Structures are given as structure tokens and as C-alpha cells.
Amino acid sequence: MDFPERFLQLDQYPIHEPGSEKFNAVVAAAKKQLSVHGYAELPGFVTPEGVAALVADAEEGPPHAYRSSGRGTAYLAAPDTTVAANHPLGTVMPYAVRALPYDAIPTFSPLRQLYETSALTSFIAAIVDVGPLFPYGDPFGALNLAVMAEGDELQWHYDQTDFVVSLAIQSALAGGDFEVVPNTRTAQDEHFDDVANILGGDQENVLVLEMTPGTLLIFEGPNSLHRVSPIEGSRLRHVGLLAYDTVEGRMGSTALRQTRYGRTEPRSNPPLEWSSL
């Protein structure tokens, strides 16, 4: 593997031994979590030494990160002006996050090296069990370093992709919790009343997932409302977002690139180090 083996808890998560008894047991446990809860948490996936390397690397990125902010709906679409003011389709909430796209993450970044490790792709594929997976083809969206500073947050929303893989790198001093209400809607029923209650502050069914540094999280977000609570304090929250697809080479939209990264044309080559950005 290109990613240093000492940076992964291979005794606990033997991604390099597909088909082994331990590999199959880990995959089975993660698949059960996904089917029951809509997410699979793999705490301690990265060793303390690996987390330290990821933090040191991530701390060099924020000056180059693009900040997007505004107000959006839970459905990541324009608000519906024909519904009542408190209807979820018309409710807008603040968001703010900084992002570094794949094409700007240096070649020698441990986060990039981990994402490009084929054994990890195969491991994720075994867990989500939707057929062969490929690294997402988009040069912006394939891998992101998400950076959140004091006051930043992500509003309650549903994802537009079947699953998201994230790696917790550094927590904020306070806030920045990943909050989720599993199975909030179904294909048959949007449960707008329940969603309206959550958007209005109802915490009864909200779960807080411990994004402890080193934790790998596989999350199915199309039907589970979730958010990142406002960041408090001076320490940045760093999370790696690893994207995969069942179709090789698929690209994201130009509009999304402009909104999320502030540009539409990718770099011809990734930088060798942060300072060359």
C-alpha cells in the first residue's frame, strides 16, 4: 500500500487481507450496522501516529481552502415559495464550510495516499455491497478536505448520493458534532411533519455520532436527515471526504464546482506540496 501500513490498525481492520476470516467478520459487522442504522462506524481505523500525520498535513491546507456559505434547504434545492413558511421544502438554514478539492491536495499528502490505496476501495465496496466501486472520476469531488472554523456549520439536509465515506482527522474544541436522525423519510413518505419538528429544534430522536479522530464512517444519507452543528472555539475541524462511484469516470457538474470550490477548471497536475499551490 502507498499509505504507510503503520498508519492503519490492520490487526483490527485487515483491509490488506480480503477474504480472510477477520476481514469477512469486520465487513459483516459493518454491513449489519448499515442495514440497521444507516451508518457504519469504524473507530480507530487510523492509528494515533497516522492521525498525527493527517493533522500536520491538514493544518497546512486551510489558507488554500475555498469558503462557501449561504442558506439552503434540507433538500439541497431552491426553497419552494408555494408552501407554508414553516414547511421543510421552504425552510432555509445557514451553512458555511471550507473545502479543498482533490486536484489541490498534494501528491505526498497522507490523506491522498490513503484515498488512492486500492485495498481501501475494495474494503469499502465489500461493505456497501453495491457491486464494484471506483474512485469518483471528478478531479474536484473525488477527495475533499473539509475545513470548518468557528461559526461554520452544515444545515440539516439529505445527501444526494447513496453513501458518503468520511475520515475524522481533527475535532473542534466544541460543537462540530455530526448529528443524525436515521430513516427520517422513505420512498413512499417524506414525513414532512417529523422533518419540520427536527428543523424547529426537536432533539428527541437525534443521535450524535462520535467523530473521534481516526474514525472511518460510512454513512447512507439520502433518507436520514443530518447536520454538523456550529463550530465553537479556535481549533479547526478537519474531515476527509472520500468519494466512490459504481460508474468509472463519472463527473460532477460545473455549477457544483463553482459553488463549492470557486472555480471550474481543474489543475493539470496535483501539487507536490501545499506551498506550491
User: Model confidence over 176-195: pLDDT tens digits?
Assistant: 999 999 999 999 999 999 99
**Identity at 191, one-letter amino acid code:** H
Q: Which parts of the chain fold into alpha helices (H)?
A: 21-37, 48-58, 110-115, 118-128, 192-199, 254-261
pLDDT at 28: 98
pLDDT given at position 2: 67
pLDDT digits (tens, 9 = 90+) for 108-121: 999 999 999 999 99
Residue 104 amino acid letter: A
Contact yes or no for 229/206 (Cβ under 8 A): no
- pLDDT over 70 for what percent of the chain? 99
- What letter would DSSP give residue 8? B
pLDDT in tens, 70-109: 999 999 999 999 999 899 999 999 999 999 999 999 999 9
Contact 97, 67 (CB under 8 A): yes
Inform me whether the pLDDT recorded for 66 exceeds 90: yes
pTM recorded for the entire structure? 0.95
Q: Give percent of the chain above pLDDT 90.
A: 91
| Spatial CA neighbour of 62 closest among 228, 236, 213, 232 | 236
Q: What is the mean pLDDT of the chain?
A: 95
Task: Please give the pLDDT value at position 275.
Answer: 85
Buried b (16+ CB within 10 A) or exposed e, 132-165: ebebbebbbbbbbbbbbbbebbbbbbbeeeebbb
The full set of domain ranges for the chain reads 5-264
pLDDT > 90? residue 255 = no
Band (160; pLDDT cuts 50, 70, 90): confident
Most confident of 125-134, 252-261, 267-276: 125-134
How confident is the model at residue 37, as a pLDDT?
92
- Contact in structure between 269 and 191 (CB atoms under 8 Å): no
Q: Report the C-alpha gap between 115 and 127 in whole angstroms.
A: 16
Q: Which residues pair with 147 in a beta bridge?
A: 98, 238
C-alpha to C-alpha distance for 67 and 147, rounded to whole angstroms: 9
17-54 tens-digit pLDDT: 999 999 999 999 999 999 999 999 999 999 999 999 99
Please name the amino acid found at residue 63. Answer: P
Range 191-200 average pLDDT: 97
Task: Please give the average per-residue pLDDT across 196-217, as a whole number.
Answer: 95
pLDDT at 1 over 80: no
The confidence band for 161, taking pLDDT boundaries of 50, 70 and 90, is confident
Degrees to nearest 5, angle at CA 212 with 111 and 64:
40
Pairing type for strands 174-175 and 216-219 reads unpaired
End-to-end CA distance of the chain: 26
What's the CATH architecture for 5-264? Sandwich (2.60)
Residue 65: burial class (beta carbons within 10 Å; 0-12, 13-18, 19+):
buried
| DSSP states of 171-219 | --SEE--EEEETT---SS---HHHHHHHHTT--TT-EEE---TT-EEEE
Q: For residue 210, what pLDDT is reported?
A: 82
User: From CA 201, how far away is CA 92, in angstroms rounded?
Assistant: 14
